[in-house]
Amino acid sequence: MSDGSLIERIRAFEAASRVLDPAPAERAALREPVLRYADAFLDALASAPAFVGGSDGGAGLLDEVIGEEGRGLDELLALLAEQVDRPGLNPASGGHLGYIPGGGLYLSALGDYLADVTNRYPGVSYASPGAARLEHQLVRWMADLAGYPATAGGTLLSGGSLANLSAMAAARDGRGVRARDIERTVVYLSAQTHHSVAKGLRVLGLGECVVRLVPLDPEWRMQADALAGMVEHDRRQGLRPWLVVASAGTTDTGAVDPLDALADVAAEHELWFHVDGAYGAFFLLTERGPELLRGIERSDSVVMDPHKTLFLPYGLGAVVARDRRALELAFRELGPYMQDAVVEAGAEPWPADLSPELTRPFRGLRLWLPLMAYGVAPFRAALEEKLALARYFHEEVQRLGFEAGPPPDLSVVTYRYVPQAMRSGGVAPAPEVVNRINRRILEDVNRDGRVFISSTTLNGVFTLRFACVTHRTHLETVDRLLASLAASAAAVERERALPAAAGR
């Protein structure tokens, strides 16, 4: 029998920690300022800057100590508004035209709220058969989108980086690549392959594989015949061609590699054919998508990022393997404390059997809720809108005197300004002068901040990028960017016309 003092201590601790489990009235008191904050944020979004520059943003947080005593929510939300939700990029804004992931569906936030409140355990079917089934169903929807057979399976991860890593682990084990083979094993990428692939290879211990960069055509697409030649050459050298990673929408230029032709090469040489569709795979929902991505159904694995082209808030990427057993080979493990949670023979594997993760958020709900509540149609329309806006921007920016890259496959356009006097027939453009002018245009647009753009370097040339991916980006947003570019280009021309600029 415990003495009374232990019971007293237990009671005291219980009372002191009670605040962690608020009663109904306390919950309402917590919810109300948070909802007010969220609504104010969303209501102001259309007129809020897409970018607030300066490197000292958030520095005020460092003065706020994490102390023993709690503080009022209003005070903390004010801190959040000033120190976190103002400085830097505002990816929730439709004016975010710089990078691929942005947006954030409100209904996903409500799904997250429910997932966090109920805290179901999706990794193990025994713990939450419903959560596991719901996630399997989402994966099946994506497998169908890719045109995969019934053998397919996959899992929901935090994003495209972990999804690519997981696909490569499946490729490794699906093809029996062992540690002692690594230095003779060859991976085929392109200079436009997303850097998460190289990172994933390193994390998997495959960083010492031979990496070949397959040449690109003038529209930044991997050349399938060049791949075939490289594989044959490597074979003759006694190397082991293993994996080709195609991009179904590169991040940099939005180009879609010729998937069907690459699938032919992969099939002939028994390469694992992985398609990184983190950005582009959901364009399969559009009218042009299936033709543009033809061959994706022949891949061994595919990655899709709902937090990009299904407009979800950050934290959801998916990997699907044509034969889910490859993912099981890579990831299935058990601990003795899991003995109650047996998988019956023939049953669907647990999500955790196909994933590097075990305990994780029930992230399926943030996708299931909007997909089921809205249906697929508005997603299709939003993606068609992005494709059309990219074509519109590609035409209009050239009307302003900018040079544009190839007509967009998807929703990224590359472009740069060449001053009038340097265009064809004029003075030959000096590369460093043109680069400087474009850097200045980027800074002008982002200093204004109503829209945010980014740049890249293509074959050594500083190039501006238009990446149109959020559900809040519409025609007015693109017109705002065009106006901002026109103003900056006009300023460039004015300054060049000044006598002081002669000789520049």
Q: Which residue, 37 or 188, has its beta carbon nearer to ligand PLP?
A: 188
* Least distance CB 279 / ligand PLP (angstroms): 4
Q: Which of 104, 160, 361, 405 binds ligand PLP (CB under 6 A)?
A: 160
Residue with tokens 């102390």: 67
Using the contact rule CB under 6 A, the part of the chain among 153-161, 338-346, 421-429, 483-491 near ligand PLP is 153-161
* Least distance CB 164 / ligand PLP (angstroms): 6
* Least distance CB 134 / ligand PLP (angstroms): 21
Q: Which residue, 51 or 279, has its beta carbon nearer to ligand PLP?
A: 279
Q: Check binding of 200 to ligand PLP (CB under 6 A).
A: no
Q: How far apart are CA 387 and CA 469, in angstroms?
A: 9
Beta strands at 461-467 and 301-304: parallel, antiparallel or unpaired: unpaired
Q: By the 8 A CB rule, do 442 and 286 touch? A: no
Q: Check binding of 194 to ligand PLP (CB under 6 A).
A: yes
Cβ count within 10 A of residue 491: 13
Q: Which of 90, 128, 196, 473 binds ligand PLP (CB under 6 A)?
A: 196
Binding mask 224-263 for ligand PLP (x = CB under 6 A): -----------------------x---x------------
Closest CA to 291 of 244, 248, 252, 331: 248
Q: Check binding of 222 to ligand PLP (CB under 6 A).
A: no
Q: How far apart are CA 504 and CA 501, in angstroms?
A: 6
Using the contact rule CB under 6 A, the part of the chain among 90-98, 156-164, 222-230, 462-470 near ligand PLP is 156-164
Backbone torsions φ then ψ of 416, nearest 5 degrees: -160, 160
Q: Check binding of 411 to ligand PLP (CB under 6 A).
A: no
Closest CA to 196 of 159, 155, 143: 159
Q: Which residue, 247 or 446, has its beta carbon nearer to ligand PLP?
A: 247
Using the contact rule CB under 6 A, the part of the chain among 69-77, 117-125, 276-284, 361-369 near ligand PLP is 276-284
Binding mask 312-351 for ligand PLP (x = CB under 6 A): -----x----------------------------------
Q: Check binding of 96 to ligand PLP (CB under 6 A).
A: no
Q: Which residue, 135 or 276, has its beta carbon nearer to ligand PLP?
A: 276
Q: Check binding of 279 to ligand PLP (CB under 6 A).
A: yes
Kindly give, in sequence order, each residue whose CB lies less than 8 Å from that of residue 1, ignoring residues fewer than 6 positions away.
Answer: none
Q: Which residue, 280 or 349, has its beta carbon nearer to ligand PLP?
A: 280
Cα-based torsion angle of the residue sequence 281, 283, 285, 286 in order, rounded to the nearest 10 degrees: -160
* Least distance CB 307 / ligand PLP (angstroms): 6
Q: Which of 156, 278, 310, 464 binds ligand PLP (CB under 6 A)?
A: 278
Q: Which of 234, 297, 300, 305 binds ligand PLP (CB under 6 A)?
A: 305
C-alpha triplet 143, 104, 301: angle, nearest 5° = 20
Q: Check binding of 449 to ligand PLP (CB under 6 A).
A: no
Q: Check binding of 159 to ligand PLP (CB under 6 A).
A: yes
Q: Check binding of 276 to ligand PLP (CB under 6 A).
A: yes
Size, binding site for ligand PLP by CB under 6 A: 14
Distance spanning both ends of the chain, measured CA to CA: 91
Closest CA to 366 of 11, 103, 150: 103
* Cα 252 from chain centroid (whole Å): 12
Cβ count within 10 A of residue 183: 11
Q: Which residue, 441 or 458, has its beta carbon nearer to ligand PLP?
A: 458
C-alpha triplet 470, 476, 480: angle, nearest 5° = 95
Number of H helices, E strands in the chain: 16, 13
* Least distance CB 421 / ligand PLP (angstroms): 37
Beta strands at 153-157 and 185-189: parallel, antiparallel or unpaired: unpaired
**Is the Cα dihedral 287, 293, 297, 302 positive or negative?**
negative
Q: Which of 50, 89, 92, 100 binds ligand PLP (CB under 6 A)?
A: 100
Q: Which of 90, 161, 446, 463 binds ligand PLP (CB under 6 A)?
A: 161
Q: Which residue is nearest to ligand PLP (CB)?
A: 160
Q: By the 8 A CB rule, do 169 and 193 touch? A: no
C-alpha triplet 349, 353, 357: angle, nearest 5° = 140
What is the token pair recorded at 400?
Answer: 């302003």
Q: By the 8 A CB rule, do 296 and 259 touch? A: yes
Site of interaction with ligand PLP (CB under 6 A): 100, 159-161, 164, 194, 196, 247, 251, 276, 278-279, 305, 317
